[in-house]
Structure 1
């Protein structure tokens, strides 16, 4: 399966500068593609467009040559940098987890999610614990590609290592394609199968 980003451009209005211009790339199933660039260069905007959170000014996102259906579950799922902003604070974690699908015990164990956490509120968990839930809830059987936008930047080193180890094992097992957005070149070199510098493909200037 192939995810294709075709001539994607984005700006907020006709008078504003281009944030992204004529972006083209392909991600195959099983690939882990790193996207690096300085802050303010459009990495997160590109991630939101690919995952369907933002509409491009022009261009298309295709899976196996077809545009993604906007109705129903999106096969491209995004994991955000700030898990506390990605969950409903009024829901207990069991409801948060089951928002998209019902992960089994094997999945929870692999991601280090303890059963007792399911009865807690989001505010009662650490950032690393919350991020494990945010990852688990997007790994449904219908997911084909993952967009990871600085997903461990705010976490301690041990949590970072544990989360990436589990996520890569699951992605390899399920043959997910992954787009990993990071400013950390050391991390990209360790976990990605190839790396793209957004400055090399962004024609905004």
Structure 2
């Protein structure tokens, strides 16, 4: 399984500055690729294009030489920095959890999701608890690549470590490829197999694990 970006360009209007210019990248199944760079270099924009939420001005995103599917569950799934914006506040957590698939008890246990949380509203949970739900609901066997956009920046250190450990273990078990968007180079060096700096897309740093 291969996720391929070919010559991605993006800007909002014909007269606005380029956010991304000629970005090409290939991610293999099982790889953990870090995308780093300061704010304003298009990291989050790139992740939304890869996930199919935004269209590039030009270029393409392909999975095994085919465009991302327009219907059904996309094999490329995104985890956001702010989980409160990724859930329906009018749904209870059980419905949110089962939106994409029905995770088994093993998944819930690994994510540290307590059963009584299922009957709560999103507003009754902390950011770390909500993020656990947002991650669990996309760990489907149909998913092949995970996009992690600053997913633990707003969480305490202990919760960060717990979430990353579960994600890395699950990715290894299921063979997920991962694209990790971060400005934290220390995190990228710890969890990634290679790193791409958006300030120089041709600069690829190999991390031995």
Question: Which residue of structure 2 aligns with residue 29 of structure 1?
Answer: 29
Find out whether 1:62 has 2:67 as its counterpart. no
Deviations 1:152-182 (A, max 9, x none): 0000000000000001100100000000000
Shift of 1:64: 1.1
Within 1, Cα distance between the matches of 2:144 and 2:191? Answer: 19
Question: Which residue of structure 2 aligns with residue 84 of structure 1?
Answer: 84
Within 2, Cα distance between the matches of 1:192 and 1:118? Answer: 32
Shift of 1:73: 1.4
Within 1, Cα distance between the matches of 2:111 and 2:167? Answer: 8
Question: Which residue of structure 1 aligns with residue 45 of structure 2?
Answer: 45
Shift of 1:81: 0.2
Unmatched segments (≥5 aa) in structure 2: 203-209
Question: Which residue of structure 1 aligns with residue 4 of structure 2?
Answer: 4
Within 2, Cα distance between the matches of 1:133 and 1:115? Answer: 12
TM-score (norm 2): 0.95
Point out 4+ residue stretches in structure 1 off by more than 3 angstroms. none
Secondary structure class of the residue paired with 1:187: helix
Secondary structure class of the residue paired with 1:148: strand
Q: Which has the higher contact order (CA 8 A, sep 6+)?
A: 1
Within 2, Cα distance between the matches of 1:174 and 1:114? Answer: 23
Within 1, Cα distance between the matches of 2:66 and 2:89? Answer: 36
Within 2, Cα distance between the matches of 1:57 and 1:140? Answer: 31
Secondary structure class of the residue paired with 2:199: helix
Question: Which residue of structure 2 aligns with residue 116 of structure 1?
Answer: 116
Shift of 1:5: 0.5
TM-score (norm 1): 0.97
Find out whether 1:100 has 2:84 as its counterpart. no
Question: Which residue of structure 2 aligns with residue 191 of structure 1?
Answer: 191
Unmatched segments (≥5 aa) in structure 1: none
Shift of 1:65: 1.1
